[in-house]
Amino acid sequence: MTKAELINEVLKTKGLPEISKKATGEIVDAVFTTLSKAIKKDRRFVYPGFGTFSVRKRKARTGRNPRTGEKIKIAATRTVTFKPAPHLKKSL
């Protein structure tokens, strides 16, 4: 699903007040900006019934250059992971 498709689906949701497509896009942007800030600050974001986003560390490791086959060092990094809630997982 693209951002435009998400905005259109939100606009189709019944029971919400009618607002413009531009305003809906700004709301979607605000939600994701807030979510990003929460993950950076608290290193975790939980949305009940949907799942948990959390920051995890990846250790440094050795990889291979696919062109030459030579060994390379891959530095340690942090990444965001997602664990779906049991209800969401069952519905898949």
Mean pLDDT on 28-57: 95
Compute the average pLDDT of residues 75-86: 96
Angle at the Cα of 15 (from 13 to 20), degrees rounded to 5?
A: 60
Half-sphere exposure of 68 (CA within 13 A, CB side): 5
Question: In the predicted model, what is the mean pLDDT of residues 10-17?
Answer: 87
Residue 86, pLDDT > 90, answer yes
Rounded to two decimals, the pTM is: 0.73
* CATH fold for domain 43-92: HU Protein; Chain A (4.10.520)
